Homo-oligomer: A and B are copies of this chain.
Amino acid sequence: MEKKIGFIGLGNMGINMAKNLISEGYHLQVYNRSINKADELNAAHITKCHTPAEAAAGVPFVITMLSEDEVLRESTVGADGILKNLQPNAVHISMSTISPDTAKELAKLHTEAGSHYLAAPVFGRPEAAAARKLFICVSGDAEVKNLARPVLDCLGQGVFDFGTEVGGANVVKIAGNFMIMASLEMMAEAFTLAEKNGLDRAQVANFFGSTLFNAPIYQNYGKLIANKQYEPVGFKAKLGYKDARLAFKLSQASETPMPTVNTVHSRLLTAVAKGWGDRDWVEGFGRGVSEDAGV
């Protein structure tokens, strides 16, 4: 008999994750605001649902991969939300990038409803999701983490446990996105400095990516920034800005002054204000620095 999972959110990330679950033998009860996105999935192994509640009915696990706190909250506690139908002891595996406060709030509601909430945000672009190369951070009840583990193992190359406080993994995710943004800004500044001093951006990027900064972040994004290659749009500047806001808000909530958060937040706010919100966030950083430098 096929194992069933509720799956909510078929964006660039979600669609690839859903495919991996299907190929591992799961049957998915899928919900997406534009349900025709589900046509990309093998029809034999999915059930299209009209609401998050429907997707959550009768399954041991429901996964959410949504764009922001508000959407997740509505999908969970709204009139047709997950909690309406989630059966006792079922686990909501929450993989979106959201604030730890939202995680705590939702976890409490699940507990009250007799079900479980697991924070499980991921690192990786859509290609990584497709290749099952996501890094998955989890936090929450130990037993719940064990229950969810086989599902998570279908989605990523590693699961990292950040304790039993439910918001912990979300903090790590926000901190990591901040570090990525800071890296984009840093490279845009460094390569523009090199360019204005007569050097070749690509050569400089290649040097750093193959020596001191030989990590994927610097290699992959480094090439895009060096070549001012801002298309196709992989991750929109306005979504990056949303993440910068999460980082800023967390720095406020935990009283942690972070000057670099100011910088990346301003950079992306400027991108949005200039009308680049739907362009790639790399353009927000790269073009932002270039324009300020008059090149």
Contacts and interface: CB of A to CB of B under 8 A. Distances in A.
Interface in A145-171: 158, 160, 162-163, 165, 167-168, 171
A283 to B, nearest CB: 15
Interface string A243-286: 00101001110111111111101110110111100000000000
Given A255-B294, A293-B257, A179 B197 contact: no
Contact of A252 (B179, B191, B212, B269): B269
A260 B263 contact: yes
A117 interface: no
Contact of A196 (B190, B255, B265): B255
Contacts of A7: none
A109 interface: no
Contacts of A196: 254-256
Nearest to A182: B186
Given A162-B199, A212-B216, A250-B193, A256 B293 contact: yes
A175 interface: yes
A61 to B, nearest CB: 24
A172 interface: yes
B197 A171 contact: yes
B190 A178 contact: yes
Interface string A1-40: 0000000000000000000000000000000000000000
Q: In this complex, which of A180, A187, A294 has the most chain B Cβ atoms within 10 angstroms of its Cβ?
A: A294
Given A183-B183, A185-B259, A257-B266, 11 more contacts: A160-B207, A162-B203, A163-B198, A163-B199, A180-B212, A189-B259, A192-B258, A193-B251, A255-B269, A262-B262, A263-B263
28 contacts: A137-B207, A158-B211, A162-B199, A163-B199, A167-B197, A168-B197, A172-B199, A172-B207, A175-B190, A175-B193, A176-B190, A176-B212, A178-B193, A179-B186, A180-B212, A185-B260, A186-B186, A189-B256, A193-B250, A193-B251, A193-B254, A193-B256, A214-B216, A256-B273, A257-B270, A258-B289, A274-B291, A274-B294
